Structure 1
Amino acid sequence: MNNKVKFNICNCHYALQRAAEDGEMAFDTPVAMPGAVSLALDPNGEPESFYADGIEYYIIANNMGYDGDLELALIPESFRTDVLKEEADGNEVLVENANSETGAFALLFEFDGDVRKIRHVLYNCSASRPKIEGKTNEESREVQTETLTVKARPLASGYVKAKTGNRTSAETYEGWYKSVYLPVPKAETGGSGDDTEGQG
């Protein structure tokens, strides 16, 4: 399949998603997730055809986001408590509770292999509990990674993801991991913004 994205991921962050007072979606400050190994995402949803008059009369868009895996050297404890909702007890032992609901979050990242280091954000993500697995050491030691199955779904507004481009302003690019980027209507930008040569 040619629709899979998998590169050398870096600068991985997550930001908890919550409902703001006005009912719109808002996000907390992004938190770094060190040790990202790989990211593989497949688009979810294929265009559907409507036939009339003996022809393909209309093509129905069906963007249901992305599904895939995020592989990490070790899932950060903050992600386990913030998103997977594991609870620290009185002895600071992380406890998994079947009655807890996992949290929604935005996933921010960039690919080291990109010449311009394009920065991405996926909105409205959820993550499943990782497998518990490991194996004994043999003649050579092999690092045991942990994998999260991630689902990114459209927000109520329809937004699924965003990424920097060749004309993204330097201010937006540099502040990508300070707060989750949300689309701004062109009328509010006051123009096209400064170009970020060699970044985007």
Structure 2
Amino acid sequence: MKNKVKYNISNVHYALITTTDEGFNFGVPVPMPGAVSISLDPNGEPEAFYADGIEYYTISNNMGYDGDLEIALIPDSFRTDILKETVDANNVLIENANSETSNFAILFEFDGDKHKIRHVMYNCSAARPSLAGQTNEESREVQPETLSLSSRPLPNGLVKARTGNDTNTEAYSAWYSQVYLPVEEVGGP
């Protein structure tokens, strides 16, 4: 049974990236409840090389994605793990201009008419969110927070992965227990 449509972002998680001498590791995915929307646009376009009076070669220029994640309220764990805010003795979150943010993978899914479509963006960074609000008028309106995200290729070239109609059940079920990494193809031509 194949999906015909997708809708409704949900089940957003983040996983901290740590670098080692051998490469990188991902932490256990941490839930970020309250997803409202996500919009990520491709960064980088193919560039043409001209020779002999024609477009001789096209250079791929995949620099990942840029966009926004709108969420009801950014969890404190994301603020401390990724944005590197600290917690003082009174449990107050402190932002320090000398702190460097951490990179992370972001995992999420869209509902489909047959099954959910799960995604992972491997190497993300987030800008500090804006601080905004407005007064209540005749009715209360929830004012979500927005994270500006950049997703770039990992050193090995990985940008993102997503489940499809024929994704292995085991890989699909384990999507949020650890960050999915590609498995070598078995067999071949």
Runs of 4+ residues over 6 Å off in structure 1: none
- What is the letter of the counterpart of residue 93 of structure 2? L
With normalisation by structure 1, the TM-score equals 0.88
Aligned: 1:101 with 2:106: no
Matched residue SS, 2:80 = helix
2:120: which partner in 1? 121
C-alpha deviation, 1:166, in angstroms = 2.2
CA deviation vs aligned residue, 1:31-62 (integer Å, no higher than 9, x gap): 00000000001000000000000000000000
Preserved CA contact (<8 Å) 1:11 1:32 = yes
Does 2:130 match 1:131? yes
- The residue correspondences of 1:1-200 to structure 2 (distance < 5 A) are 7-20=7-20, 22-113=21-112, 115-187=114-186
- In the alignment, residue 16 of structure 1 is paired with which amino acid? L
Describe the superposition over 1:36-90 as per-residue Cα deviations: whole angstroms up to 9, x where unpaired.
0000010000000000000000000000000000000000000000000000011
Shift of 1:114: 5.5
In 1: Cα distance, 2:136 partner to 2:28 partner = 39
- Greater displacement, 127-136 / 164-173: 164-173
* Residue identity opposite 1:173 in structure 2: Y
Q: What's the CA shift for 1:113?
A: 4.3
The structure, 1 or 2, with the larger RCO (C-alpha pairs under 8 Å, 6+ apart) is 2
Query: Which stretches in structure 1 are left out of the alignment for 5+ residues?
Result: 1-5, 192-200
Tell me the distance in 2 between the aligned counterparts of 1:7 and 1:135: 29
Instruction: Please tell me the residue identity of whatever aligns with 2:43.
Output: N
Structure 2 segments unaligned to the other structure (5+ residues): 1-5
Identity rate, percent? 68
Corresponding letter in the other structure for 1:157: N
RMSD: 1.6
SS at match of 1:111: strand
CA distance in 2, matches of 1:31, 1:62: 31
Q: Which has the higher strand share?
A: 2
Answer yes or no: is the 8 Å Cα contact 1:73–1:145 preserved in 2.
yes
Secondary structure of 1:8's match? Answer: strand
